[in-house]
Structure 1
Amino acid sequence: MVIDGRNIAKSIREKVKSEIFEKNYHPKLAILVAGNDEASLIYANTKIKACANVGIDAYTYFFTNDEEDKFLKKLDELNTDDSIHGIMIEMPLPKSYDAQRIYDLINPIKDVDCISTYNMGRLFSGNPLYLPCTPYAILTILKSLDVEYTGKHAVVVGRSNILGKPVAKLMLDLDMTVTQCHSKTLNLEEYTKTADVLVLAVGRRNLVGGQMVKKGTIVIDAGINEYNGEIYGDCDFQSVESLCSYITPVPGGVGPVTTSIVLSNTLEAYKNVIKNSNGKTS
């Protein structure tokens, strides 16, 4: 069965919109984009449109490859601006930027994608302020299925700090046994064929084909790859789909849910900022 990520995303958006309008909230999200990565620009515009549809004011700030100082100055301003409740940085940042330093400079209470070391530490210690958007989207998709995950085997292919590692943590929180693989794993097929739940998060088109998946597997494809003007995931969808009990398409699977989680986390950030500013609203 192909999972309709757009339908799951719609449900999340409706809940966020309802709460914002019923309680007269005014959340604001700042999005920082650096460099000339075309995908980042597209994702930023997608978030802005989604925000407008639910009553969140979104502002985008653009910087060139050699404007890290300006980027840092704006980030510092946003950190202390009481009218801004969430901050999101589009990735990847240019190689000329010190990405980890930038992530760690985000005010944790406004870090709606949970990319700072502080918030990542809270996540792995079991006391998260927010869940990172794409891993949270994957968790949300899994929870939408009528499946008992306790004791099942999850194989996560990918080990990035922003996706592979945190999603493995969330699978553990579902009481699953987790194997983490990556681009350097030898004989990857030996691991993927044992997965009850297979999460792909590498960014390599056709990394996993039908011969690498056992029948009945749940495949969550979070890979994004552009090829000949088309968007693909990390699995060869045509050869894998017939073997799966559930599978997310690319596009239309994890992506729309991730965008809706940005909205949900921004609303939570608004409530956290208000709570920490003695109830004052902006």
Structure 2
Amino acid sequence: MKLIDGRRISKEIMGEVKAGVGKLNARDIHPLLATVLVGENPASVLYVEMKSKTCVEAGIKSKNHHLPFDVSEEELLDLINRLNNNPAVHGILVQLPLPEGIDVNRVFRAINPGKDVDGLSPVNLGNLMLGDESMVSCTPKGIIRMLEYEGVKLEGVEVVVVSHSILIGKPLTLLLLNRNSTVTVCHVHTRDLAEHTRRAEVLIAAAGVPHLIKKDMVTEDAVVVDVGTNRVDGKLVGDVDFEAVKDRASLITPVPGGVGPMTIAMLLENTVSAAERLGSK
């Protein structure tokens, strides 16, 4: 078993991001990421703080717009419209989840696709389906980069994705299909999950269920990517029963320190790419 060290890989990517920022600065382009946080969800607050801190380290400007939990949908859309029209803003990230009563899809549709650094606008999702990966959702993009960095073969390989969410499962499936993987997508309505996971040469778990994936659900020498971040008894654990599965896998990501750092690295990489395109117009 070998650990896939997301922290180490992301550190290399962050070096490339920082170099990209320097080149843009030399052209008087100063990448700025605007984050929008609604309410006081502790995990969301922490994520936004982490993103802001990493932006500073990479030389990217960061501006957080913190709105109250009871903000109206129209007020949120008005803020997004102002950010769309602000030439100093290159990336817009709306932190999820949003409160009930706000139409998340309407919010995604409102973000300028050129500034949609989380790749969730209909335009960017449609582009991904066409094979255009210029602006891709950060976590799926990070997973693919991590696997490619480790030299994991994806073409023709049986990959099982345990998630069909718009954030992870759906864009990740498209990324894998773009690489000619044979993809099975499992979700909460899947009958006999283990029957599918045991076929996987690459197993990616992102269901949000602590220790969902047990040892008997993983084939020998599989590559296992754990996207889950679940708080259990004050400890962060993944969707994979790590201690039970680790000796069965050829490669496995830890939680924390696996996919998480890659997500933030991809966010900043997307922000620099957006600044490059917008600044060249």
Coarse TM-score class (shorter-chain normalised)? over 0.9
2:60 pairs with one of 48, 52, 56:
56
Structure 2 residue aligned with 1:279 = none
Query: What amino acid does structure 2 have at the position aligned with 1:224?
Result: T
Correspondences of 1:1-282 after superposition (within 5 Å): 1-24=2-25, 25-68=29-72, 69-276=74-281
By how many angstroms is 1:106 displaced? 0.2
Q: Percent identity?
A: 38
Maintained 8 Å contact 1:5/1:256: yes
**Letter matched to residue 22 of structure 2:** F
Specify the code of the residue in structure 1 equivalent to 2:64: T
**More displaced, 226-235 or 133-142?**
226-235
**How far did 1:270 drift?**
0.3
Aligned Cα root-mean-square deviation (Å)? 1.1
1:43-96 per-residue CA deviation (whole Å, 9 max, x = no partner) reads 100100000001100011111221033322211110100000000011111112
Question: Which is worse superposed, 5-14 or 162-171?
Answer: 162-171
Distance in 2, Cα, partners of 1:204 & 1:218: 19
SS in 2 for 1:33: strand
For 1:28 and 1:6, the matched residues in 2 are separated by 24
Could you list the per-position Cα deviations for residues 189-246 of structure 1 after superposition, in whole angstroms to 9, with x for gaps in the alignment?
0000010000111111011111100110001111111112111111111101110000
Distance in 2 separating the partners of 1:105 and 1:265: 18
> d(CA) in 2 for partners of 1:230 and 1:90?
23
Give 1:261 deviation, angstroms: 0.6
8 Å contact kept, 1:222–1:234: yes
For residues 233 and 67 of structure 2, what CA distance do their matches in structure 1 show?
A: 28
Rounded to whole Å, the distance in 2 between the matches of 1:178 and 1:170 is 10
Does the Cα contact within 8 Å between 1:197 and 1:218 map onto a contact in 2? yes
State the 1:130 CA deviation. Answer: 0.5
Post-superposition shift, 1:147? Answer: 2.9
Using the alignment, how far apart are the partners of 1:98 and 1:195 within structure 2?
35
| Partners of 2:71 and 2:110 in 1: CA distance | 16
Equivalent-residue separation in structure 2 for 1:134 and 1:219 (angstroms): 15
Once the two structures are TM-superposed, the CA of residue 3 in structure 1 deviates from its matched residue by: 0.8
Contact residue 128 and residue 175 of structure 2 kept, 8 A: no
Amino acid at match of 1:61: H
Q: 1:93 to 1:169 in 2, by over 3 A?
A: same
What letter is aligned with 1:64?
P
Question: Is the 1:155–1:197 contact (alpha carbons within 8 Å) kept by the matching residues of 2?
Answer: yes
Q: CA deviation at 1:18?
A: 1.3
Alpha-carbon distance in 1 for matches of 2:140, 2:239: 16
Provide TM-score, normalisation by structure 2. Answer: 0.96
Q: Which runs of 5 or more structure 1 residues have no equivalent in the other structure?
A: 277-282
